[in-house]
Amino acid sequence: MLTSHISQPPTIAFQAKLFRGLSDASRLSLLNALCAGPCTVSELVAHTGLTQSNTSNHLRCLLDCNLVVSEQQGRYMLYSLSDPRVAQLLELAQELLLNVAHGVAACTHYEEKKD
């Protein structure tokens, strides 16, 4: 697990940047797939239904943000969550949605983006 420490508490703007990164449906589907354990790009394509190029592009973003790490395994690159708290965050979001799903579904302020 890779962790980096920031000398100051994250600002609201910094937290917003994290959540903007998590607001993409493709990246969320990749992170959810990785909650089950490490995967290759091909396995992630099969789990998510994304194209290989789309998967690779989003993995680069997740790697740059340090939400995902990669490790060479023979001919393949194996991707995994960088920190178990990413899985915990996604699980908490699912639990929260059980209570607020109606309001989230009815919200007109945040429209779903089309890829």
CATH code assigned at 57: 1.10.10.10
> In this structure, is residue 83 part of a structural domain?
yes
The answer to whether the beta carbons of residues 57 and 41 sit under 8 Å apart is: no
How many domains does the chain divide into? 1
> In this structure, is residue 57 part of a structural domain?
yes
Summarize pLDDT for 36-53 with one digit per residue, the tens.
999 999 999 999 999 999
Task: Give the mean pLDDT of the chain.
Answer: 89
Distance CA 113, CA 37 (A): 28
- Say if pTM beats, i.e. exceeds, 0.85: no
Distance CA 87, CA 93 (A): 10
Average pLDDT over residues 61-84: 96
Q: How confident is the model at residue 2 (pLDDT cuts 50, 70, 90)?
A: very low
Radius of gyration of the chain (CA): 15
Average pLDDT over residues 59-75: 95
25-34 helix and 84-106 helix, angle to the nearest 10 degrees: 140
> In this structure, is residue 52 part of a structural domain?
yes
> In this structure, is residue 113 part of a structural domain?
no
* Segments forming the whole domain that contains residue 53: 16-106
